[in-house]
Amino acid sequence: MTENHEHHYTEDVQHHLKQVEALLHRHELVATLVHKQEMPREERHELVETILHKRHLAELSDKLETLHPADIAYILEALPIEQRLIVWDLVKANRDGEILIEVSDAVRESLIATMSREELFEATEQLDTDEIADLAPDLPQAVMRDVFKSLPVEEREQLRAAMSYPEDCVGALMDFDMVTIREDVTLEVVSRYLRRFDELPDHTDQLFVVDREDRFKGVLPLNLLLVNEPELDVATLVKHETVTLHPDDQAEQAAQAFERYDLVSAPVVDEDGKLVGRVTVNAVVDFIREESETDLLNQAGLREEEDIFASVWKSAQNRWMWLALNLCTAFFASRVIGSFEDTIEKFVALATLMPIVAGIAGNSGNQTTTIIIRSLALGQITQASARHLLIKELAISGLNGLVWGSVAGLFAYALYHSIPLGLVMASAMLLNLLLGAIVGLVVPLAMQRFGRDPAIGSSVLLTAITDSGGFFIFLGLATIFLIH
């Protein structure tokens, strides 16, 4: 997508959102005016029905009917809960499932909570098997039982298989809507076969060639089908050397393969060599976006994706875990400072310079952490390269410590006219930058080693360690060289 197209798309979505908000505002304004009228309750109710439902809500319903499910999902996420539920009630029932798939997990939870068992069943029934698997964790068990019973045997097995894979595996990304052909037929036969479809599955750039037992043989790109003579056999054009995925492969590895080889789709083959599904670029893009959002939240110490219009209580709970950890580390840092009270009393300037030492190291460590997390996500770091990276980051921090430590030391000398204080400042900056580099590298690597997301709380832990370490190093050096 070009920059201009992206700009226009954003403008369009924002324009739709503003139109919906304007209609909702008019609806609420008229409702308020009607309820202020002094008239019998029954008459007032009829007036509300006449004025509201036949005008603004009808106009809003017509507006929603023209929008793509993804745009409606965006609008729902951007509205406070009361307005969100008004819009949700106006969405046509046959579009509920498509929209539930598009909205964020947190908003989906608020929508599902308002739906009856029958409504949820009807919404889910509209979806493909792989989409039902995506929605399954948020649906009541009773609804899922109804859905299982309603599916044909083949789709039921597909759904059971899709739900058996963890979210970060290829099996969770794959879909089952694909076109398979045999290699012992001509291109003319394949063309006639394709013309029987009302439309091809989304992102069909190649046909998957299998034998009679569904063992994967290769792919036939559509462009080859179109430009070659109809009398040719598929076997003469099939590409055997192609990127294949396994259901248990990590989704991150699949994303890297799609990026590296510019794939639109890729076959998923089990341990017996049978074709079980495919992964398409749209599923990979969704996965990458969700992973990026999760990493961003984890770095900030948030436990899960948050509905920005959720209740104060629920949002507060989402932020408690790392705030509690932060409080503990802050108390620890305060005890570090408290242990040097005599030093600070004798040299008050230290209190004004401490935050500089801690802050610059925290920032430098965050730079290291960001680079390491990105490299881990791309699979670029191995055990063999980790030591080389540590040496490199220490060298970078050492150089930065010498340069910016000297600047900070000169700054301290200019303010307080003390050469020893300037030297302590420069030394503390150098040592704390080295500490920041070590922590910024070790924390993400340790998280991955223990099977955790490297981004989880890395920023919080880094800040805690560089703050406490910075105070200890700076005040310790000051105690040795300025007081004694």
- pLDDT over 70, % of the chain: 89
Task: Look up the CATH architecture of domain 180-299.
Answer: Roll (3.10)
Question: Does residue 19 contact residue 63 with C-beta atoms inside 8 Å?
Answer: yes
Residue 103 confidence class, pLDDT cut points 50, 70, 90: very high
Cβ neighbour number for residue 83 with a 10 Å cutoff: 19
In the predicted model, is pLDDT for residue 451 greater than 80?
no
CATH fold of 312-481: Tetracycline Repressor; domain 2 (1.10.357)
Model pLDDT for residues 341-386, shown as the tens digit of each residue: 888 888 888 888 888 988 888 888 888 888 888 787 767 787 778 8
- Tell me the per-residue pLDDT of 194-247, one tens digit each, with 9 for 90 and over: 999 999 999 999 999 999 999 999 999 999 999 999 999 999 999 999 999 999
Of 322 and 17, the structure prediction assigns the larger pLDDT to: 17
The two tokens of residue 179 are 């076109």
> Chain-wide mean pLDDT for the chain?
85
pLDDT mean over 295-319: 70
356 burial (CB, 10 Å; 0-12 / 13-18 / 19+) is middle
Average pLDDT over residues 85-100: 90
Report the Cα–Cα distance between both ends of the chain, in Å, rounded.
65
The matching CATH number, chosen from 3.40.1350.10, 3.40.190.10, 1.25.60.10, 3.90.1170.50, for 13-166 is 1.25.60.10
Nearest to 287 by CA among 127, 170, 415: 170
Where are the chain's structural domains? 13-166, 180-299, 312-481
Measuring CA to CA, which residue among 281, 329, 297, 247 is closest to residue 105?
297
Grade residue 3 by pLDDT with cuts at 50, 70 and 90. Answer: very low
pLDDT, residue 389, reads 85
pLDDT at 55 over 90: no
Return d(Cα 21, Cα 84) in angstroms, integer: 10
- Per-residue pLDDT band for 5 (boundaries 50, 70, 90) equals very low
- Joined together, the tokens standing for residue 330 give 């802050």
CA angle 417, 418, 421 (to 5 degrees): 135
pLDDT tens for each residue of 246-292: 999 999 899 989 999 999 999 999 999 999 999 999 999 989 888 87
Q: What is the pLDDT of residues 106-119, one digit of tens each?
A: 899 889 999 999 99
The string of pLDDT tens digits covering residues 382-425 is 777 888 888 888 999 999 999 999 999 999 999 999 999 999 99
Query: Using alpha carbons only, what angle is made at residue 204 by residues 199 and 205, rounded to the nearest 5 degrees?
Result: 135
What is the pLDDT, as a whole number, of residue 375?
81
Q: What is the pLDDT of residues 130-184, one digit of tens each?
A: 899 989 989 999 999 999 999 999 899 989 988 999 888 999 999 999 999 999 9
Taking the alpha carbons of 215, 217, 222, 225 in that order, is the dihedral positive or negative?
Answer: negative
Residue 167 structure tokens:
């979210």
pLDDT at res. 307: 73
Question: CA angle at residue 244 from 157 to 256, to 5 degrees?
Answer: 110
Q: What is the DSSP letter of 200?
A: P
List pLDDT tens digits, range 9-35: 455 888 888 888 888 888 777 666 655
